[in-house]
Amino acid sequence: MNALHKVSDQTIRMLNNLSAEQRAKVDQVVRTHVRACLRNGSPLESFDRLLIEAVEVVKLEERVPETRYDFVPTVEPFRHYEQYTSPREL
Domain range summary for the chain, segments of one domain joined by +: 3-63
Tens digits of per-residue pLDDT, 56-73?
Answer: 999 998 888 777 777 777
Tens digits of per-residue pLDDT, 13-71?
Answer: 999 999 999 999 999 999 999 999 999 998 888 889 999 999 999 999 888 877 777 77
Report in angstroms the alpha-carbon separations of 68 from 10, 53, 60, 64, 78: 35, 24, 16, 12, 20
The pLDDT value given to residue 52 = 93
* pTM, 2 dp: 0.66
